[in-house]
Structure 1
Amino acid sequence: MSRYCSRCGKAHKACICAAIVPIDSQVELIILQHPTEEHRAMGTARILSLSLANCRLLVGEDFRQHEELNRLLAESSVQHFVLYPSEQSQSSAQLKLQAERPIRVIVLDGTWKKAFKMWQVNTQLHHLPALHLPKDLKGNYRIRKAPSENALSTVEAGYHLLQTLQPEQDFSPLMTAFDTMINYQIQQMPPGVFERNYLNKEE
């Protein structure tokens, strides 16, 4: 028997499936996941793909010849965006849903360095309008050191994006599953490790 859950990909003792709540979303997410993130114990993209019916998770680094992704990007009836902050990106808070044209957002899943490389390689994404999240958001990925306090995990980015675009809907179950994963990992740490290595990381 495998040590890992076939659904969430995490070790059975760390399985988060019980915390996953199915959520419908008007906005479709396409997550391009760097291969090094696929089996990472603390990865969060799987929370989005398990929770959201309107979400696809594609693994790779170079998607230029990826048949499924390029077929999706060719659908003219859909508004396509990429969640990637740049000088030209607009805030997701300014984007309005249009009933006649569904929205599909491409999300890069990887460390900032790996996401940047994926952005450089996958030039077909450069033609899409880019979005950035409100800049005053603060991440709560407290078991993984981040370059800044407003650096977000993939599930946090997805949550804030969807909640901004669809404020009438409750996407908080995504954060509940995220907290379940984090709390389990903290409980497995030896006494004092979390407080010493993470609570004081800004000092």
Structure 2
Amino acid sequence: MARSYCIYCTYPISACLCHAVSPIQISTEVVVMQHPSEVNHAKNTVRLMQLVIPQMQVLIGEASEDFIELQAYLAQATKPIYVVYPSDNSVSVSQANPANNAIIILIDGTWRKAYKMLQSNPWLLDYPAIHLEVEHASNYIIRKAKRPDSLSTLEATALLLSSLDTTCDTTPLFAAFDAMVQHRLGAMPDGVKARYQSNNKEVK
């Protein structure tokens, strides 16, 4: 029997998140370069972000030619542009102190795939790179990460938006995120759920 999907949030009816979605308007322009392997990943948070921030741009690809339209768009942009990626050349958001109407580019993929995308798109080096000063572990406990400073793309975006504009209410992003995490935890068998309780993370 075919699975039924919500026509609004596009999640399966059994996992519908409409009750937790409240769209927001922001001054910052969010652009996500998403690795193709993330598009249909059940736990990908960019999908949630699009529900909460409908004006954000999501472009799918890996190589430079996949982002030709984005490159042309950025070339004519009059706003400051930043690439969100921690590296030896990046500076913290507080150091960069970007305006809240800036364009921020995030790369959505595993660390390995995101690094490969960065190497395949040298034009990104034309823009200053910034990183978040992560003080707390990610709440993305349903997806494992190799690095302790790993955040989901949604969490990184929410923290970045808050840093750029202290009046920006990112509560709707975290509300949708928490609803997805709790639903997926609730659907797990106890034995599977226990595997996500490592590192002293509390699972509700």
Gap change, CA 1:98 and 1:66, over 3 Å in 2: closer
Q: Which residue of 1 aligns with 2:63?
A: 62
Residue 110 (structure 1) shift: 0.5
Report the CA distance shift for 1:200/1:96 in structure 2 as closer, same or farther (over 3 A): closer
TM-score, normalised to structure 2, is 0.89
Would you identify which runs of 4 or more consecutive aligned residues in structure 1 move more than 3 Å?
1-9, 95-99
* Structure 2: stretches of 5+ with no match in the other structure: none
Deviation at 1:170, TM superposition (A): 1.0
Measure the CA separation in 2 of the matches of 1:63 and 1:96.
28
Q: Distance in 1 between matches of 2:104 and 2:189?
A: 40
Identify the residue that residue 37 of structure 1 maps to in structure 2: 38
Counterpart of 2:93 in structure 1 is 92
Is the aligned partner of 1:145 residue 2:144? yes
Could you say which residue in structure 1 is the equivalent of 2:156?
157
How far does residue 65 in structure 1 lie from its aligned partner after superposition?
A: 5.1
Identity %: 37
**Residues 29 and 104, structure 2, Cα contact 8 Å, conserved in 1:** yes
Q: Which residue of 1 aligns with 2:13?
A: 12
Distance 1:136 1:146 in 2: 16
How far residue 94 of structure 1 moved from its aligned partner, in angstroms, is 2.8
Quote the residue 1:185 is aligned against.
184
Q: CA deviation at 1:10?
A: 2.8
Distance in 1 of aligned mates of 2:40 and 2:99:
36
TM-score (norm 1): 0.89
- The separation in 2 between residues aligned to 1:177 and 1:131, in whole angstroms, is 26
- 2:61–2:67: 8 Å Cα contact kept in structure 1? no
Q: Which whole-Å CA distance do the structure 1 matches of 2:122 and 2:5 have between them?
A: 35
C-alpha RMSD of matched pairs (Å)? 2.1
Distance 2:8 2:24 in 1: 17
Q: What are the Cα deviations for residues 141-200 of structure 1, in whole angstroms up to 9, with x where unaligned?
A: 1111111332100100101110111111211110110010000001111124212x0112
> Partner letter of residue 84 of structure 1?
Y
